[in-house]
A and B are shown apart, each in its own frame.
Chain A
Amino acid sequence: MKELWELFWTFAKMGAMTFGGGMAMLPILQREVVDSKHWATEEELMDYYAIGQCTPGIIAVNTATFIGQKYRGWLGGIVATLGVVFPSLVIISILAGLITNFSHLAWVKNAFAGIQVCVCVLIFNAVVKLLKKSVVDRRTAAIFLLVLAGGVFLSISPVWFVITAALAGIVLKNLEVRGK
């Protein structure tokens, strides 16, 4: 029980200290999990991180589940995940309540209208950064463009694009092997 509590508390602290995406969490994980608690080695953490990025879901959550389950089995995995999301639940619920109460004020509306412009730029920058990692040849460029166009012009769930793209990856890679 004490170990589970420690797991929850450690991951809650890390959740509260992470500012930004899952990547921002890596140095904090290295310090807490590898250097201070010895719950995983540096290599294991790198493995978890790599797999956390290519399995579904939030990278920080995937990594937390991995480390928790290694330390205390499946229950540890669940407890670590609950720990990492706990600060978000508290902070966002408070903020969301405040913002809802003040959203009718003119200056709040103007501020958010400015912020929305910034969010456009931030999303655009994120796409450019991801492009460099994900589009590595002509075929991945084609997949990117097709999904981009499909997403803009079609009104269907993103789920279908994800399933089709996974199948396309398998088919294209197998054709490549046969072509050689």
Chain B
Amino acid sequence: MMVYLKLFWEFFKTGLFAIGGGMATLPFLKNIGETTGWYTYGDLMNMLAVSESTPGPIGINMATYVGYTVSGIPGAFIATIGEVTPSIIVILIVAMMLKKFRDNKYVNQAFYGLRPASTGLIGAACVAVVLEVLTSIESVKPAAGEGIVNAFRIAGDSLLNWRGLALAAVLLVLTNWVKPVKNWHPIVFIGISAVVGVAFGFAGV
């Protein structure tokens, strides 16, 4: 029972503070994984890949998947309901005073700061996953009561994952600069990467 309450509360917070759509929930999901130990970065990235490749809004797919990982189908349901509850409350309030909200000075001013901050948080999550997947640099969280600054250390023999970096470089070029490939749906690139991963034994097993 406790795990369901915690799940609801964590996703309620995510739904309330993640601003700017599905990808904006990523830093929050990363934080939930770190503080509860429910799943690793690697798990989270697999969930993101599946969420991008299946129908439905990415943010909802991720919430459902994380909830399922934590405690099965009830977990999937509770996490998703937790994430949408703040939206429903906020939108029902905003709908009552639609015009006032759009033209409110403070709302617009707050968003001037919120937009770059939301991007910064996703950027930090990006750094964390790049370190995790493409290097052997580990970010070490401080133990409880020992401050809030992370330490970094190298775990493993080789600093860089060369095969991973090569694939990343190719994908970066394909998704940004090659027409018409760059307009293809992400599912195509996820599929290609899965094939490359199997062909070259990316997990080393």
Contacts and interface: CB of A to CB of B under 8 A. Distances in A.
Contacts of B130: 120, 124
Contacts of B172: 121, 124-125
A147 B92 contact: no
Contact of A143 (B59, B120, B171): B120
Nearest to A125: B175
B149 interface: yes
Q: Is the interface of B mostly helix, strand, loop or mixed?
A: helix
Interface string A90-131: 011101110100000011011111111111111111110011
Contacts of A147: 116-117, 119-121, 123-124
Given A124-B130, A158-B28, A57 B83 contact: yes
A85 B115 CA distance: 25
B123 A148 contact: yes
Interface residues of B, number: 112
A18 B193 contact: no
B193 A81 contact: no
Q: Is the interface of A mostly helix, strand, loop or mixed?
A: helix
Chain A CB within 10 Å, residue with most, of B125, B148, B198? B198
B170 to A, nearest CB: 9
Interface residues of A, number: 102
Given A92-B61, A127-B126, A54 B119 contact: no
Given A115-B193, A135-B119, A151-B120, A156 B21 contact: no
B120 A146 contact: yes
Contacts of A168: 113, 117
A123 B129 contact: yes
A158 B15 CA distance: 12
A85 B80 contact: yes
Interface string B17-35: 1111111011110010011
A111 to B, nearest CB: 4
A144 B119 contact: yes
Contacts of B84: 57-58, 61, 81, 85
Top 8 closest A-B pairs, CB basis?
A114-B197, A151-B124, A169-B113, A147-B120, A165-B117, A57-B87, A113-B202, A88-B56
18 contacts: A17-B55, A55-B19, A55-B90, A61-B60, A88-B64, A93-B68, A113-B204, A114-B197, A117-B164, A118-B171, A118-B186, A118-B192, A118-B193, A120-B134, A121-B172, A154-B149, A162-B19, A165-B114
Interface of A: 15-23, 25, 47, 50-62, 65-66, 69-70, 74, 77-78, 81, 84-85, 87-89, 91-93, 95-97, 99, 106-107, 109-127, 130-131, 133-135, 140-141, 143-159, 161-170, 172-174
